[in-house]
Structure 1
């Protein structure tokens, strides 16, 4: 529950739950109030002439006289919750994180199964991702085919990243493992110079590709993709993979049509081994949706925030209403 004046009032835990022991005091006050009311009623029955009382005061006391006491108890309950220091989940932008965007520029990215081509669509969506990513995140760019090259070291300068994406060039083969190792090295380098904490900044690799690794032929080799994914897991860097394309893609090589169907099996395995998530996209619109999802995951973190202010204000509001009700109904403050 959230009210504009009262503030956040959702709960996800308490920092000082022992304050709930105060509820025993509240229960004692309720018991005392009931005892006092019963004792007052007995005194009236003992000393009053009921026939005379009915003729002098035919209207019995209204049940509304208990309302101030009830409101007082409710306010004490809210004060107790506030003293227990409730918390709620708060999403805040990350300002100390590293993201490496690793893009496949092998020849299969020429395929036009995704209009206007896999590469052009990837460039457009990747630039939008760079634009919308939380400004405080350090974003780097790696292009890879047979080898991997750091085009932009992690930086908050998005223009440099977008300019490099526009200049991507095709090359032969696909060395996915080398690209991941290169990204891990770039993350380690920038992590050593980023301050603001006792631990390295959180990091993530976003691996964009349309096919399986060709160099080396075995992904479990020391420089293979699966070995690199396990290393990323050990270093606490999850890899989010994006398999982009359709099963019907092809490229023209020496006047011959060469099928280049998207291969998401290897990319799924890489994500699994690294502790990340795997995504697939077969159109520019789907790719944009994937990037928007990643931006939401990477760009924000959830922390525990204080939620006691709303409960404290609500308790004070009900206490004021209790005092007003006591003056209007019983002509005195609640006791």
Structure 2
């Protein structure tokens, strides 16, 4: 249950709306102004009693030693302590960045021929390899990472592992190929995450039927039944797919995205290269390439993830840095009653300590 602040208080829009599990206890905060009034009444009563004594020393003793502000500081701190403890009793909650329970990340990386283009220095492939290696360094050591390389087909370059050296070796082994099968990359990534779900067998059956010239209208072999879950709800794994072109063969990436969404797996997409389309030439031959941003955005949206565009090597590095923090830290609504209780205890101790130091008594 969330506590809604009255409109006239105008809680700043830039700050997260505070919430409380037991908001009914907030009414106890009305005791604070009553305590302030009681304190003021006691101070006035003390002054009236003090004027009855003839000795000025006795009057000073009654009023307290030192500057006037010292007399009021311990009670003020005690009032703050009570306020903090009353807030703690309402069990406040807030969005707090906590370590994610992400356990496996699949890097699906485009190795089609257009990745040799030098519009991203030194070229797209090397920039992607360098950014991926930096990404591995930033990840916690307990996060497994797998590598899927794709062009006209997709294959697992490295099964999920904690060994960063094996991952770097797999990235360095990339060989450029023709065509781009972004959908296949997602399917193979899912098959790697769920090796017992029959996903890889379904994809092989699809390729076999196409190669034999059989009608694709024929229903595919029956899969093991599973219950679809909400998109993005599977928090133990994620897929990051980097590509510089549009799909030219293989599974439709939107169909593959639906498979990922039904399993709750987020597919973060990263686009590099030319958005409008351009003819890129190298080593005596040329090819027309265009980044299909709309499809990449759609894939990310359907899986409750995000799309990123990187026009330079530095942009690509920043994208991976952002993904590293996003995948290893997540904001969760967490009860913070203990923080308010601790603040209240510290204020109470400070109030008692200052009172003993200045007046040789506890308030």
Give TM class, smaller chain: 0.7 to 0.9
Counterpart position of 1:99:
105
Q: What is the distance in 1 between the residues matched to 2:347 and 2:99?
A: 35
Runs of at least 5 residues in structure 1 that lack an aligned partner in the other structure: 1-9, 193-198, 217-222
The structure-2 alpha-carbon separation of the partners of 1:31 and 1:226, relative to structure 1 and needing over 3 Å to count, comes to same
What is the CA-CA distance between 1:224 and the residue it aligns to? 0.7
Counterpart position of 1:126:
132
Q: TM-score w.r.t. structure 2 length?
A: 0.70
Q: Is the 8 A contact 1:72 1:318 kept in 2?
A: yes
Residue 121 of structure 2 aligns to a residue whose secondary structure is coil
The structure-2 alpha-carbon separation of the partners of 1:33 and 1:283, relative to structure 1 and needing over 3 Å to count, comes to closer
Counterpart position of 2:230:
none
- Aligned with residue 250 of structure 1, among 280, 285, 299: 280
Q: What is the distance in 2 between the residues matched to 1:130 and 1:136?
A: 11
Q: What is the distance in 1 between the residues matched to 2:300 and 2:309?
A: 12
Counterpart position of 1:211:
245
Q: What is the distance in 2 between the residues matched to 1:123 and 1:149?
A: 17
Q: What is the distance in 1 between the residues matched to 2:167 and 2:95?
A: 33
Q: What is the distance in 2 between the residues matched to 1:150 and 1:129?
A: 19
Counterpart position of 1:301:
330
Q: Deviations over 1:191-245 (max 9, x none)?
A: 99xxxxxx954322111111000115xxxxxx31122123322322222111112
Q: What is the distance in 1 between the residues matched to 2:59 and 2:161?
A: 83
What is the CA-CA distance between 1:38 and the residue it aligns to? 5.8
Bigger mean CA offset, 323-332 vs 265-274: 323-332
> Larger relative contact order (C-alpha < 8 A, sep ≥ 6)?
1
Counterpart position of 1:5:
none
Q: Deviations over 1:95-122 (max 9, x none)?
A: 5432111111122222233333222222
Determine whether 1:154 maps to 2:182: no
Q: Is the 8 A contact 1:94 1:136 kept in 2?
A: no
Q: Deviations over 1:236-257 (max 9, x none)?
A: 222211111245561347x443
Q: What is the distance in 2 between the residues matched to 1:58 and 1:238?
A: 73
What is the CA-CA distance between 1:262 and the residue it aligns to? 4.0
The structure-2 alpha-carbon separation of the partners of 1:144 and 1:117, relative to structure 1 and needing over 3 Å to count, comes to same
Q: What is the distance in 1 between the residues matched to 2:77 and 2:127?
A: 62
Q: What is the count of residue pairs matched by the alignment? A: 307
Counterpart position of 2:297:
268
Runs of at least 5 residues in structure 2 that lack an aligned partner in the other structure: 1-15, 199-232
Counterpart position of 1:228:
256
Counterpart position of 2:228:
none
Determine whether 1:20 maps to 2:35: no
Counterpart position of 1:141:
147
Bigger mean CA offset, 298-307 vs 274-283: 298-307
Counterpart position of 2:309:
280
Determine whether 1:172 maps to 2:201: no
Q: Is the 8 A contact 1:177 1:225 kept in 2?
A: yes
- RMSD (Å), alpha carbons: 3.7
The structure-2 alpha-carbon separation of the partners of 1:137 and 1:35, relative to structure 1 and needing over 3 Å to count, comes to same
